[in-house]
Amino acid sequence: MKPRPKVLVVDDEPDYLRIAARIAAKAGCFVITAPAALEGVRLASSEKPDMILLDVGLPDISGFEAARRIRRDPALARVPIIFFTVRSEVDMVSEGLGLGAAGYVLKPFDPDELLRRIKAAVSPA
């Protein structure tokens, strides 16, 4: 049997962290969480998740910067990252997607939409 995909969720807002973790679990994933960006970067490097759900407005460094650092690890250079944020300015979204993100989901979000995107990211067609 194939092991369950491992998903890392990074968000400093406990409610969103819990909601997103629950949705990822519903998608059949094993979930690990981090409440800050640097901890997320560390966890990514030690746990090698199959997908990362990343907030952008984090207290220590931005989600975009975290994504850049995560991608420097050759083993994570292609890990799908979905940004998950209230930031909806064209420049921000464009920058996020320009980092090669698998998706960009605005908060507050439709749980079905997030579930679909997580499933698609962990089991690409």
Binder to other proteins among 58, 102, 118, 122 (CB under 8 A)? 102
Distance CA 61, CA 21 (A): 21
Binder to other proteins among 25, 93, 115, 119 (CB under 8 A)? 93
Binder to other proteins among 1, 15, 46, 74 (CB under 8 A)? 15
- Indicate whether 9 belongs to the interface with other proteins (CB under 8 A): no
Residue 35 is given by DSSP the state S
What region, left, alpha or beta, does residue 28 occupy, with left being phi > 0 and alpha being psi -120 to 50 degrees? left
CB of 20 to other proteins, least distance (A): 10
Cβ neighbours, 10 Å, residue 99:
15
Distance CA 76, CA 92 (A): 23
Binder to other proteins among 8, 16, 24, 64 (CB under 8 A)? 16
Amino acid at 89: E
Q: Are strands 51-54 and 103-106 parallel, antiparallel or unpaired?
A: unpaired
What are the φ and ψ backbone dihedral angles of 30, each rounded to 5 degrees? Answer: -90, 130
Binder to other proteins among 38, 61, 105, 115 (CB under 8 A)? 105
CB of 19 to other proteins, least distance (A): 5
Part of the chain binding other proteins (CB under 8 A), chosen from 11-19, 40-48, 55-63, 65-73: 11-19
Q: Kindly list the residues in this chain that would bind other proteins in the complex (CB under 8 A).
A: 13-16, 18-19, 22, 88-90, 93-94, 97-98, 101-111, 113, 120
